[in-house]
Amino acid sequence: MSEYDYDVLVLGAGPGGYTAAFRAADLGQRVALVERFPELGGVCLNVGCIPSKALLHTAAVIEEAASMEKHGVSFGEPFIDIDKLRGFKDSVVKKLTGGLAGMAKQRKVDVIQGLGTFSGAHEVTVETADGRKTLTFRNAIIAVGSRSLELDGMPWGDPRLMDSTGALELEEIPLRLLVVGGGIIGLEMACVYQALGSKVTVVELTPGLMPGTDPDLVKPLQRRISKRYEAIHLETAVKRIDVADDGLLAHFEGKHTGKEMFDRVLVAVGRTPNGGKINAESAGVEVTDRGFILVDSQMRTNVPHIFAIGDVVGQPMLAHKASHEGKVAAEVCAGEKSAFDARVIPSVAYTDPEIAWVGVTEAEARESGLKVGIGKFPLAASGRAIGIDRTEGFTKLIFDASSKRIIGAGITGPNAGDLISECALAIEMGAEAGDIGLTIHPHPTLSESVAMAAEVFEGTVTDLYIPKKP
């Protein structure tokens, strides 16, 4: 018998944590998965990626049905039964979290529900419904994620002031919604509520929406939502919100000033890691002032038998990064020589149109001093995009012009989030423009735009006329 209760204890059951626990169990480890909430899946499955995508699908169908009018097919105004819609969203979440609980059982992973904190270098204490339990471990994997940043001076506690979790609860469809923060969460939820009938205003602190993303990728989205939303205020902040019986009064400062009443306000100004909430010091694990835990490429913290993965180890705070890191940590715990060596991690905003990017951005490539080559194929020249009447986006591939290797990509348009995977694979495989352009893509598809963007860079494209430079 081992001197410890478990070979591997995983703290937190989000996409990083449950992946780590399942992989460790598959490698023959005795595993405990400690989660404070009754359901597995963390923010992503319960109050993040999954419910938001269920609602974004509803938004997309409403928009698409309305757009059919100009093709001669009218469906009339949608009737929205919000309870039924919420029920569907909840059923999606339940199906997935239930599936996880089943898979944990099949793998003989011990799921322990309760808030877990370290109480020693090989010990976690869990506040369970049946009292305090102390579990000992040989290795631990910290997968405690992040939480929404709360802006100071806001009337938190008033149900009309929401973070992303509150917005996904879909308690009502407000007449006027203010979204504070023009990042991914803010713009995805704005998209949902606008389609459901809210008049939406977005306030963003910086000069552009989705800062850090190439501005040309964001432009088609901005153009579309500028027509649909009540207002988009850039370089503006919300100084304060006053509570009134008939709404929340927001005071703006910056480029846009004044005050306005809204029925609800969503604050989505970023997320902050939970590293400071687990008493990591008692295990000797160092946590930065901001709550991050630093790790090496094997996901080891400064304490060699304690690992950390996911949002708590740094940006980008994305589920697919966390799950890959979780596998690495589990494999290292089981004695394998794994390391996190992914070249790139794709990002997707599931807005309408979708925006996806991977590898270096064009701005980063140009700043790096590389000889940059760009191949850009507009969806206005794609037969498939014309057929579905969504021609406002494009596919852009970024090359190191000296080696002709792809180093980045960005796509704006329908299904961009699915299309970007090919670009990620191309970067991982060290593909050159010719490899992409000479790969036969089915016609007519949106995926052709990836090959054609490579052809634009190569100068071999025939679906566009690009005059030769003299």
Q: Tell me, by CB under 6 A, how many residues bind ligand NAD.
A: 27
Q: How far is the CB of 348 from ligand NAD (least distance, A)?
A: 5
Work out which of 204, 214, 354, 400 binds ligand NAD, going by CB under 6 A.
204
Q: Which stretches of 122-246 are assigned E, i.e. beta strand?
A: 123-128, 131-142, 146-148, 161-162, 176-180, 199-203, 231-233, 236-244
Work out which of 78, 207, 211, 387 binds ligand NAD, going by CB under 6 A.
211
Distances (CA, A) of 269 to 149, 205, 237, 303: 6, 9, 11, 32
468 contact partners, CB below 8 Å, separation of at least 6? none
Work out which of 55, 100, 185, 190 binds ligand NAD, going by CB under 6 A.
185
Q: Which is nearer to ligand NAD, 192 or 203 (CB)?
A: 203
Handedness of CA 116, 119, 124, 125 (dihedral sign): negative
Strands 161-162 and 264-267 come out as parallel
CB 358 within 8 A of CB 345: yes
Helix residue ranges per DSSP H, 358-440: 362-367, 383-387, 416-428, 433-437
Work out which of 186, 378, 393, 437 binds ligand NAD, going by CB under 6 A.
186
Helix residue ranges per DSSP H, 124-239: 164-169, 184-196, 215-228
Task: Please state, as a whole number, how many other Cβ atoms lie within 10 Å of the Cβ of residue 335.
Answer: 10
Cα first-last separation, the chain: 78
- The piece of 121-129, 290-298, 334-342, 346-354 that touches ligand NAD (CB under 6 A) is 346-354
Q: Which is nearer to ligand NAD, 186 or 373 (CB)?
A: 186
Q: Which is nearer to ligand NAD, 145 or 220 (CB)?
A: 145
- The piece of 77-85, 91-99, 174-182, 437-445 that touches ligand NAD (CB under 6 A) is 174-182
Q: Which is nearer to ligand NAD, 154 or 385 (CB)?
A: 154
Work out which of 278, 348, 358, 436 binds ligand NAD, going by CB under 6 A.
348
Output b/e per residue, 440-463; b: 16+ Cβ within 10 A: ebeeebbbbbbbbbbbbbbeebee
Q: Which is nearer to ligand NAD, 75 or 156 (CB)?
A: 156
Q: How far is the CB of 142 from ligand NAD (least distance, A)?
A: 18
Q: Which is nearer to ligand NAD, 237 or 407 (CB)?
A: 237
Q: Which is nearer to ligand NAD, 182 or 326 (CB)?
A: 182
Considering only residues 222 to 241 of the shown chain, the ones binding ligand NAD according to CB under 6 A are: 237-238
What does the block give as tokens for 455?
């052809």
Is residue 331 part of the contact set for ligand NAD (CB under 6 A)?
no
233 catalytically annotated:
no
Distances (CA, A) of 366 to 89, 191, 343, 400: 42, 32, 19, 10
Work out which of 22, 350, 399, 457 binds ligand NAD, going by CB under 6 A.
350
CA–CA gap between residue 79 and residue 84 (Å, rounded): 11
Q: Which is nearer to ligand NAD, 6 or 350 (CB)?
A: 350
Considering only residues 389 to 448 of the shown chain, the ones binding ligand NAD according to CB under 6 A are: none
The residue from 251, 324, 441, 443 that is catalytic is 443
Is residue 316 part of the contact set for ligand NAD (CB under 6 A)?
yes
What character string, x for contact with ligand NAD (CB under 6 A) and - otherwise, covers 151-170?
Answer: x-------------------
Q: How far is the CB of 351 from ligand NAD (least distance, A)?
A: 9
Q: What are phi and psi of 136, to 5 degrees?
A: -105, 155
Q: How far is the CB of 218 from ligand NAD (least distance, A)?
A: 11
Q: How far is the CB of 405 from ligand NAD (least distance, A)?
A: 26
Work out which of 2, 74, 206, 257 binds ligand NAD, going by CB under 6 A.
206
CA–CA gap between residue 12 and residue 20 (Å, rounded): 10
CB 172 within 8 A of CB 80: no
Please, what is the Cα angle at 297 between 293 and 302, to 5 degrees? 40
Considering only residues 7 to 26 of the shown chain, the ones binding ligand NAD according to CB under 6 A are: none
Is residue 317 part of the contact set for ligand NAD (CB under 6 A)?
yes
Considering only residues 255 to 314 of the shown chain, the ones binding ligand NAD according to CB under 6 A are: 268-271
CA–CA gap between residue 198 and residue 240 (Å, rounded): 22
CB 141 within 8 A of CB 8: yes
Considering only residues 364 to 383 of the shown chain, the ones binding ligand NAD according to CB under 6 A are: none
- The piece of 6-14, 288-296, 344-352, 443-451 that touches ligand NAD (CB under 6 A) is 344-352
Distances (CA, A) of 14 to 97, 375, 434, 448: 10, 37, 39, 35
Distances (CA, A) of 306 to 9, 23, 25, 118, 139: 9, 16, 17, 11, 6
Q: How far is the CB of 164 from ligand NAD (least distance, A)?
A: 7
CA–CA gap between residue 338 and residue 355 (Å, rounded): 32
Work out which of 203, 266, 280, 285 binds ligand NAD, going by CB under 6 A.
203
Residues contributing to the site for ligand NAD (CB under 6 A)? 151, 180-186, 188, 203-206, 211, 237-238, 268-271, 316-318, 347-350
Q: Which residues are catalytic?
A: 443
